[in-house]
Structure 1
Amino acid sequence: MVSLSPGILLIADPFLKDPNFARTVIFLCENDEKGSFGFVINRLFDQQLDMLIPDVIYPGIPVHYGGPVQVDTIHFMHRLPELIPGGLEVSPGVFWGGRFDDVVELLNKGALDLRKIKFFIGYSGWTEGQLEEELKEKSWIPSESTPALIFEAEEQQIWQQALRNLGSNFAMMANFPIDPSLN
C-alpha cells in the first residue's frame, strides 16, 4: 500500500457517491498531524482564469475545481521552478505555489507553457485522521503520481488512466458504470 505522503494520488472509488468527489483524482500536497489537503486534478471549473483574476489578460486559461474548501481562493501547481520562484516541491518535478504576481506577469506576456501549470479554485481538505478513516472505508485508492498524468492527460481520462496505471485488477474498475443499478 502507498503511504499517505505528499505527492501521491487519491483515486475515488468507483462507487463513491459524494458529488464533490465522485470519479475524481486528488493530488495530495500535505499530510501531517494537523490534517491533509490536495487538489482535484480532473474536474474543470466553469470559468477561466481571466474571469476570476482581473489582472490576467491572457484569455482561455482553464481553472480546475480543486475541491469544496475555500472556493474563493486560487492555487496553482506547476513544473516551472526556474520561472516561478517560491514554490514547494511536493514530488519530483511537481511544485505547489510560488509568487503569483510573477505568474500573472509571465501569463500576460505569453511566456508560460500552459501544459506545465494548472490552476485551481478551492482545495480538498481533511481534518486530523479524517483521510485515514476514509481510506479504511475504501473511499479512496492511493497511488503513485506522475507529472504526465497531472499535467498532460485529458481531464475526462485522468480517473480511468489512474486506475489502469495500478494494473489489471484495477483497470476493469475504470469501466464500471457510475450507477450499477442502471446496468
Structure 2
Amino acid sequence: MEFSSLKNHLLIAMPGLHDGIFDRTVIVVCEHNEQGAMGVVVNRLLDLNMSEVLKAVDITPSEEMIRRPVYWGGPVSPQHGFVLHQPVGEWQSSLVVSENLALTSSPDILTAIAEHRGPEQFLLTLGYAGWGDGQLEREIAENSWLHGPVDPLVLFQLPPGERWQEAARGLGIDMRLLSGAAGHA
C-alpha cells in the first residue's frame, strides 16, 4: 500500500469520536510520514491569555495580548508552546507545513509577536497531538476523522466555536446530519 501524507490537512473529529480528549476538535496536521503524525488542535481554548504565557517566559507582552487566547494543542508536551502562523518567515525552530504555513516552537517568534514584528496571522497552542506508525491511518479507517485541505479562514478568521462545523462544511458535510454510529460493510 502506498503512503499518502496528510501534512497540511485538517483532521475533523467525527461525531462518533467520544474519547473525551478529541471530541469535536479540528487539528492541523503539521507532519505526517511513515513513522507517524503530529498536529495541533485549533478550536479548543485554554483558560489563559497570551499575556500570561508571555510573562511566564519572561517576555513583556503588548496590551492587546490580554485579549489573545491560548489554545489546547493536544495532550503531548502540554508545557511547550507552539505558534501556528502565516506567513512562514524565518525563525530559529520552525516546521514548514506548506509554503504559507508553519509551526514554530522557538521563543524568538513570541518576542517578535510581543514587539509587533511577528507573523500577520497566528495562534498559540500549548501541547500537540501525536500518532505513532499507522495509528492515524487506523483511526481514519475506523471513521474517527474526516480530513481535507487546510483553510486559513477556518484557522485564523472564525471564532473557535465555529471551526469544527465550518471545516466539515468546507468538505460539503453538515455535521448535524451525521450519525455518531459508524458502520462497516
Q: TM-score, normalised by structure 1?
A: 0.83
User: Deviations for 1:98-144, whole angstroms, at most 9, x for unmatched residues?
Assistant: 6422x23323323446x601110000011111111101110001111
**Partner of 2:162 in structure 1?**
157
Q: Report the 3-state secondary structure (helix = DSSP H, G, I; strand = E; otherwise coil) of the residue aligned with 2:15.
A: coil
Identity of aligned residues (%): 32
**Partner of 2:102 in structure 1?**
95
* Cα contact 1:65–1:121 (8 A) shared by 2: yes
Quick one: which of 131, 134, 154 aligns to 1:129? 134
Q: CA deviation at 1:48?
A: 1.6
* Cα contact 2:12–2:24 (8 A) shared by 1: yes
More moved, 128-137 vs 92-101? 92-101
**Partner of 1:107 in structure 2?**
113
Aligned partner letter, 1:126 = W
Any gaps of 5 or more consecutive residues in structure 2? none
Aligned partner letter, 2:116 = G
Rounded Cα–Cα distance in structure 1 between residues aligned with 2:45 and 2:179: 19
Q: Report the 3-state secondary structure (helix = DSSP H, G, I; strand = E; otherwise coil) of the residue aligned with 1:161.
A: helix
**Partner of 1:64 in structure 2?**
71
Q: TM-score, normalised by structure 2?
A: 0.82
- The number of aligned residues is 172
User: Deviations for 1:49-68, whole angstroms, at most 9, x for unmatched residues?
Assistant: 23233223233231100011
**Partner of 1:118 in structure 2?**
123
* Cα contact 2:75–2:129 (8 A) shared by 1: yes
After superposition, the Cα gap between the structure-2 partners of 1:14 and 1:179, relative to the gap in structure 1 and judged at 3 Å, is closer
After superposition, the Cα gap between the structure-2 partners of 1:178 and 1:116, relative to the gap in structure 1 and judged at 3 Å, is farther
